[in-house]
Amino acid sequence: MAPFLNALACLIALGSALFLWRKGSSPYRNGALLAGFLVLFSVFCYFGGDINDPTLEHYPFRMLALCLCLSTTSLPLYRRRYLVLAQSLWCWIELFGGISLYYRGIDIAWTRIAALLCMTLCSTFLSKISKEMEFCLMVFWLAVWVFF
Amino acid sequence: MFKYLMLAGLALFLPGLYALGYSIFEGPSAWMVDSRTFWGTPISLFVFWIGLAHAGTLLSAIFLALDIKLDRRTALIAELSTLVCLVFAALFPLMHLGVIENFYMVVPLLDARGNFANVSSPLVWDFCCIAVYALLSLLFFTTHLKTREIPTLEKYRKPMAWLLFPLVLWVHTVVSLDFAATFVPQWRGAFFPVYFIAGAIFSGLALMNLLLCTEGYRVRLLERLQLIFSWFMCAIWIWDLMLKGSICTSALIFAGVLPQLRMVSFIRENKWGRIALSLSVLLGLFLERLYIVSPEFGLQTSSSLNWIDWGLVAFSVGGFILLFFGIRRYLNMKMEGSSAYFGEVDGNDLADAEQQELEKENVDVRGIEKPKKGFYIQPWASEEYHVLRFPLLVGFGVAIAYAFWMVGQSVFANVDFSFANIVPLLYPIIALVTALTLFVRAYFVEHAFTLSRFEKWTCAVLLVLLAACAGAFFAGGASQGSNLSLDSQPVAVDRPVSQDHARLIWNARCATCHGAEGKFNEKFVREFYPVPQKLDLQRLDSLGSDSLVKVILNGRVNMNAYAGRLTPSEALGLVNYMRSLAKEGE
């Protein structure tokens, strides 16, 4: 995908994250939003990239994982736990998507996986997540998305 | 109720058993096989049952790890369903192999002949993940059953749940790689791991809701999750449609559209309505598995299900009903009585029970109050270190040692090998070693529980059986040729067949494994378990023509014997053709 569209994907994920886990929202609302976002990300990939490019196969799911990571910063409770879980999910999608692509001759994005893994492990030590830390985490995730 | 269900299960199981016996005797030609993927009903059933096996871990372990309340009876039913599903899931890949006697090659251990399992093949990953998952699920279930008699075991459940949480996802991810790592265009999907996991959880939820209906109660949280997962599956199918231009319509109808009827209160509040919705999801997802495994299913008359396929379906469904409700009846005394359970996790009737739970949470199992926040605990002496970090460290240590040992095996000179090939094996090893360390430490060091004489004997017998299995795997299966008389004397060969004749035989008989150019068939290396020998010029020269002719005619290790199908002249022609291929490749 072109760098501009890749950056746009990042912004779309960021915008979508705003709607998740609002106070008092039901599981139905959050579930429907997640499924709706996945459709939105799929449509974005379909029109924004070359559908024959194998690296796009898991692109909507990577967007969803990024969206989940970003959304955890707005959680009122158990933020560290779900932050670690969301990053693990992203790492998971990257690793096993990468292994699938590796068998078709495409290199695994080890740098991206290593960066995510390091941040996931470091996040387990966060005792309090301040506003500044939230900002740093979001910048880190966006940097991983855009540059790695 | 359970008795009638067991009778119904028996009625399905017995004819299914006949189909199973016939298909094992006859081999893969007995069932419907897709002409492009060469996979058929056993693999569809394997993926279906392994998906259902997620119910237990999802509902019990993951909910426990995330502090989502689930009553004991529901959790035990979920854990039991996992174990029973795993029994049937493990049977079908064996059938699919067609060479059950060579099964030992999927175990990633060195065997007596110096062979090593092909860790490039997802089949080896499958074996490791499913074996460890089954073992830990059994341990988790047994621990849960025992917590009533031995309350101190309760503190080991949560670490176990955190071990099983990634493991359950790992298992189905690896199953998805069976497909994603192959050349079949329909299976190309780097999103398959997420797709398969979502499908597995969805089917597991449907199974749980169905089983709860037979128990006579419901858990609304699970019903809600079932509906939410149907939306998520529909979103994934839309992406699959965009990528490949095709969709399994019947799966979309049964597992995507019909479950939306849960929004109609009349259907939702009716027991039979809920049963119909769960059955619809299960049927839809089975058809989807059939469609994924055999893309030609339903498109051509040659790809329609025959009586063997239906028999295998009946065998697994009937067997599940029979075994699950049989064990359920047997363990009825262990599980809570109908007057004690609380089915509604999200209902008002839980208020008292939740209050009791909260009070219980403030006091640990020994009746000592938990330390308040800010209370300093020595890190090496903390409870968390003993029940989680120390066993986890041992697990990581063993996994790293195994990775180094495996990379050092000379067999990998034959195949391209990278870190990506061993990654899927690492977590199952970590989980297994961690869980064993946890319980061995609890028994011998902390004396947290004791075993009765019967249980000690059972453990001893299981250990002996495990050692016997490891020994059998190490020794390997039979590999002698079909005609031993040929081995005792030189092979009489007048003259080799012509080069063109040898090329035709090579392409017909040998290229499947060794590749048309003698450089391996990549499909073979990725989808099957043995690693074929590298046929370079140096190796061929060192073996000599006579020896190679004998190998072709008599077979060796995983190489089939061709005496009776090839003449000695044809075998010699093949040897010469191999040399010409090796020279071209130099």
CATH number of the domain where residue B100 is located: 1.20.1630
Q: What is the pLDDT of residue B558?
A: 64
- In tens, the pLDDT along B515-524 reads 777 776 665 5
Question: CA B252, CA B198: separation in Å to the nearest integer?
Answer: 14
Selection from A29-38, B144-153, B261-270, B575-584 with the highest mean pLDDT? A29-38
pLDDT of residue A36: 95
pLDDT at residue B110, as a whole number: 66
Longest CA pairwise span in chain A (Å) = 47
Q: Do the beta carbons of residue B281 and residue B223 sit within 8 Å? A: no
Alpha-helix residue ranges (DSSP H) falling in A18-130: 27-48, 59-72, 79-102, 110-123
Does residue B327 fall inside a structural domain?
Answer: no
Q: How far apart (Å, rounded) are the C-alpha atoms in residues B351 and B348? A: 6
Among A16-30, B413-427, B523-537, the least confident range: B523-537
Using pLDDT thresholds of 50, 70 and 90, give the confidence band for residue B186. confident
DSSP β-bridge partners for residue B417:
none
CATH of the domain at B510: 1.10.760.10
Q: Is 70 exceeded by the pLDDT of residue B319?
A: yes
Is the predicted pLDDT of residue B486 greater than 60, yes or no?
no
**Closest partner CB to B243 (pick from A39, A51, A81):** A51
Residue B23 lies in a domain: no
Burial-class residue B69 by CB neighbours within 10 Å (0-12, 13-18, 19+). Answer: middle
Closest residue in A to B522 (Cα–Cα): A103
Distance CA B202, CA B212 (A): 16
pLDDT tens by residue, A27-77 = 899 999 999 999 999 999 999 888 888 889 999 999 999 999 999 988 887
Over 70: is that where the pLDDT of B488 sits? no
A53 touches chain B (CB under 8 A): no
**Prediction ipTM score:** 0.94
Binned at pLDDT 50, 70 and 90, residue B237 comes out as very high
Q: In chain A, whose CA is at the least distance from the CA of B221? A: A27
* pLDDT interval class at A93 (50, 70, 90): very high
Residue A19 tokens read as 């709607």
Express each pLDDT in B98-109 by its tens digit.
666 667 777 766
CA distance B191 to B195: 6
Nearest CA-CA partner of B69 in B354, B362, B356, B359:
B354
Q: Which of B128-132, B165-169, B205-209, B369-373 has the lowest mean pLDDT?
A: B369-373
| Residue B177, token pair as written in the block | 């790689």
Q: Which domain holds residue B96?
A: 40-108+116-292
Percent of chain B with pLDDT over 70: 77
Contact predicate B121/B527, CB 8 Å: yes
The domain containing residue A18 runs over which residues? 3-147
Q: B327-349: string of b/e by CB count within 10 Å (b at 16+)?
A: ebeeeeeebeeeeeebbebeeee
DSSP string, B284-338: HHHHHHHHHH-TTTTTSGGGS--HHHHHHHHHHHHHHHHHHHHHHHHGGGTSPPT
Please state, in angstroms and rounded to a whole number, the distance separating the CA atoms of residues B53 and B58: 9
Last residue of a domain, one of B270, B292, B314: B292
- Please report the number of interchain residue pairs, chain A to chain B, with beta-carbon separation below 8 angstroms: 90
Interface with A, mutate which of B129, B188, B194 (most A CBs under 10 A): B194
Under the banding of pLDDT at 50, 70 and 90, the label for residue A127 is confident
Phi, psi of B363 (to 5 degrees): -125, 130
Cα(first)–Cα(last) distance of chain A, in Å? Answer: 13
Return the biggest CA–CA distance within chain B: 91
Give the per-residue pLDDT at B71: 82
Residue B339 has pLDDT above 50, yes or no: no
If one counts the domains in chain A, the total is: 1
B11-31 pLDDT tens trace: 888 988 888 888 887 777 777
Among residues B292, B322, B349, the one where a domain terminates is B292
Put simply, the answer to whether B235 touches A35 (Cβ < 8 Å) is: yes
For residue B506, pLDDT beyond 80: yes
Name the closest residue on chain B to residue A49, using Cα atoms: B243
Q: Does residue B457 fall inside a structural domain? A: no
Cα dihedral B5, B6, B10, B12 sign? positive
| Residue B413: half-sphere exposure toward Cβ, Cα within 13 Å | 9
Q: Among B220, B225, B233, B242, pick the best mutation site for testing chain A contact (most A Cβ within 10 A).
A: B242
Residues B63, B336: contact at Cβ < 8 Å?
no
Instruction: Identify the weakest region by mean pLDDT among A70-79, B166-175, B494-503, B524-533.
Output: B524-533
- Residue B341: predicted pLDDT: 36
Among residues B238, B266, B292, which one ends one of the domains? B292
| B351 domain residue, yes or no | no
| Number of domains chain B is built from | 2
Looking at residue B37, its pLDDT comes to 66
